[in-house]
Amino acid sequence: MFRTSLENSETRHDTLLRVFGFEAFKSGQDEVTRSISEGISALAIMPTGGGKSLCYQLPACRLPGITLVISPLIALMKDQVDSAYARGIAATCIHSGQTWQNQKLRLRGMQEGLYKIIYVAPERFKNKAFREVLDTLEVSLLAIDEAHCISQWGHDFRPDYRELRELRKSLGNPTTLALTATATPEVRKDILAQLGLDSTRIIISGFERPNLYFEIQNVRNDQDKYIYLRSFLEDRMDQSIIIYCTTRRQVNEIRVRVEHEGHLVGSYHAGLSNNERRQAQESFMAGDIPILVATNAFGMGIDKHDVRAVVHFNFPGSLESYYQEAGRAGRDGEKSHCLLFNSQSDRKTHEYFIDTSFPPPDVVQKVWAELRQLGVGTHPTGPAQITRHLEHACLPKKGISRHPSSNATSSPNTGAIPEASVYSVFRLLKLAKHLDYGWRDGFAWVALRDISRPRDLRVDWHYLNARRQCAHRQLSEMLRFMKRNTCRQLQLLQHFESTASFGLNCNFCDVCLDAPPLFETQHSRIRSPDKPSLLIRKLLSAVARTRGRHHAKTITAMVRGSKASSMRIHHLESLSTFSILDFLRPSQSMELLRLCERHRLTLRDTNNHISLTDEGVLVMRGDHDLPQALDDHLAKRICLI
């Protein structure tokens, strides 16, 4: 039953307690919700984990019409809908990941007034069926999450956000709330201008995160990073940790290395399937996988409170990105560690990304000259194929170099254009309405709308140059942050023009302190109610009941009573051994399973599925004792409780 009806005398504080169960607002929430209640639009700058969603969910319970929320990611929408439902707020989302039948059901629900909050991505407004339904509804509040995406000066600019001004106008200019955790004064000004917000309150609740320890390690190469990272992770066994990398290749390499060191680890990047990303996220959120190695594709809107460390294996391209990603640590207020590696090679990688993301006019025109030969219409080709055609044209001249650390968009010697640059040209030409492109059934296609001469392209060259300069400036700011020997927290606050409460020294960063703090650096012993023999027999019993059909990660999650959906999908929740060892930490259950394999009580098949050996069956039944070496080892590790 949804709890959205209001009594006439109910105040905002009454709604806060009744619906959300909170007795007091967090910093900034009171001012933001008051502004919306008064019908005054607002731009709210609130830190990661500061409770931005409440700022529109609470008014949604009180306003007569619907609240329309613009959100950039499908996963973020799903999480917010689940959160709203848990509080009894009728909410839904409509996105491209749903079937058309599913979308129609939600559209019908909108028409019937079943929802108070509707989450959509900005590109949804190009859908005719959605616009027809939306035009019949009263939109009392337009909430724009991750509002920095609308600014070309922001670190995560998305062109579709630029259409929101016209959308707002078509809806009758409803009260609007723009929300972000990262916005410099320049970005704030641009957000307001792009949305056409004149009479607006700017509410900044502060950027200070006193519980975060910021540390920067200057290193020569990736090998130095691995050595330091290994020690860092060993000192933080079972803690929830995110490791950010710039490229998918590095994500995969680091995951393999960390796993080889005996840690439970998952990976997350845009190259994985939707199902793979969902499983990785669920396992990390449930605590089954304490460590997640990811690109910046992971994290936006993820509400995990007990992340104890965020490691940047490669430094980000802007301070805004760094603050947002590092800020995913310590949302529960407990002390947490933010470790950043700084190396010269990472700088070259970012310079390469900038050059390929914002290609110069000659590169755009060269790609277009290749494309226009196809003629108007749809053709079975895409960026990768066009890149190969351009490379082939260069082959007779000289060899081609496309090293990712190159700081040139195209080589003056070969004329070769990196594939990343070609992708960027495709995006620019689509934005200029010269073409459309995509993938269908695994094959690329491009549809040319015209064959304009290269010099007549409708590309906004001034905008492209401004974006390139902005990216270079943001990189320079990041480099200065890592180089300066002043308080890390103070530097971040000054960047966002926020006032520090501590003067010139936070007394909790690598600059203010001589050595990193030791939060929890000792390996804890296994605390168990069972003696070693019974503990192992229970684990072997769990292996037996999975009938050799599952990996080690699934088995260790099962014995701990994981809440991940895979437990239900594989019917593991119904097994008698489900949660039989719920007192163990993830790494401890994995350690015990590895010990069983080492002492030949279990074995893996070619698919890495775990099953019992004949000796394992005898030990499980109690017919044989534990191998003496295993018993001696566990006697030193297990502390009875």
Q: Quick one: which of 312, 302, 290, 304 has its CA closest to 244?
A: 312
pLDDT number for residue 403? 45
Tens-place pLDDT, residues 205-255: 878 899 999 999 988 889 889 988 988 998 888 899 999 999 999 999 999
The secondary structure of residue 509, as a DSSP letter, is B
DSSP 3-state of 201: strand
In angstroms, rounded to a whole number, what is the distance separating the alpha carbons of residues 314 and 245?
5
Tell me the pLDDT tens digit for each residue of 549-568: 998 889 999 999 998 888 99
pLDDT at position 559: 95
Q: Please compute, for residue 506, the number of CA atoms within 13 A of its CA located in the half-sphere on the CB side.
A: 22
pLDDT at 485 over 70: yes
> Cα(593)–Cα(601) distance, rounded to whole angstroms?
9
- 638, β-bridge pairs: 526
Strand partners, 436: 447
Per-residue pLDDT tens for 427-439?
Answer: 999 989 999 999 9
Q: Work out the angle between the directed axes of helices 532-545 and 586-598 (0-180°, nearest 10).
A: 90
- CA dihedral of 298, 300, 303, 305, whole degrees rounded to 10: 70
Tell me, what's the pLDDT at 410? 42
Q: Give the model confidence (pLDDT) of 368-387 as tens digits.
A: 999 999 999 999 999 999 99
Confidence check: pLDDT of 39 > 50? yes
Determine contact, residues 421/366, Cβ cutoff 8 Å: no
pLDDT at 489 over 90: yes
> Is 530 strand, coil or helix?
coil
Rounded-to-integer distance, Cα 478 and Cα 53, Å: 29
Element housing 342 (H / E): strand 336-342
| Interatomic CA distance for residues 172 and 456, integer angstroms | 37
| 123 pLDDT more than 70 | yes
Note the pLDDT of residue 303: 75
pLDDT at site 514:
60
The pLDDT, as a whole number, for residue 515 is: 53
pLDDT in tens, 148-166: 888 877 666 777 888 899 9
Angle at 296 between CA 257 and CA 443, to 5 degrees: 90
Q: Tell me, what's the pLDDT at 301? A: 65
Q: What percent of the chain has pLDDT over 90?
A: 61
Q: What is the mean pLDDT of residues 94-114?
A: 91
**281-310 mean pLDDT:** 89
pLDDT one-digit tens code per residue, 583-609? 998 878 888 998 898 899 999 888 889
| Length of the chain, in residues | 641
For the chain, what is the mean pLDDT? 88
Give 200 or 480, the one with higher predicted confidence: 480
CA–CA separation, 45 vs 435, rounded Å? Answer: 37
DSSP character at residue 435: E
Distance between CA atoms of residues 423 and 491, nearest Å: 35
Q: Quick one: pLDDT band at residue 521, thresholds 50, 70, 90? A: very low
Task: Identify the pLDDT of residue 627.
Answer: 93
Return d(Cα 362, Cα 354) in angstroms, integer: 16
Ordered by where they begin, the domains of the chain are: 12-204 (3.40.50.300), 212-342+484-495 (3.40.50.300), 362-446 (no CATH), 526-640 (1.10.10.10)
Confidence of residue 548 (pLDDT cuts 50, 70, 90): very high
Rounded average pLDDT over 119-127: 89
192, 164 Cβ separation under 8 angstroms: no
Q: What is the mean pLDDT of residues 385-412?
A: 60
Give the separation between CA 177 and CA 201, rounded to whole angstroms: 10
Which pLDDT value is given to residue 517?
53
> What local confidence, expressed as pLDDT, does residue 22 receive?
92
The amino acid at residue 311 is V
Beta bridge partners of 203: 44
pLDDT of residue 35: 95
**Average of pLDDT values for 615-637?**
91
Kindly report which listed range (1-10, 136-145, 521-530, 615-624) carries the lowest average pLDDT score: 1-10
> CA of 597: how far to CAs of 129, 525, 610, 625, 626, in Å?
57, 21, 9, 16, 13
Contacts of 616 (CB under 8 A, 6+ apart): 540, 543, 596, 600, 601, 602
User: What's the pLDDT score for residue 154?
Assistant: 66
pLDDT at 158: 79
pTM for the predicted model, two decimal places: 0.77
Q: Whole-angstrom Cα distance, residue 579 to residue 572?
A: 10
**Identity of the amino acid at 234:** E
Comparing 392-396, 431-435, 535-539, the range with the smallest average pLDDT is 392-396
Distances (CA, A) of 109 to 91, 103, 116: 10, 10, 11
Q: How many CB atoms lie within 10 A of CB 306?
A: 13
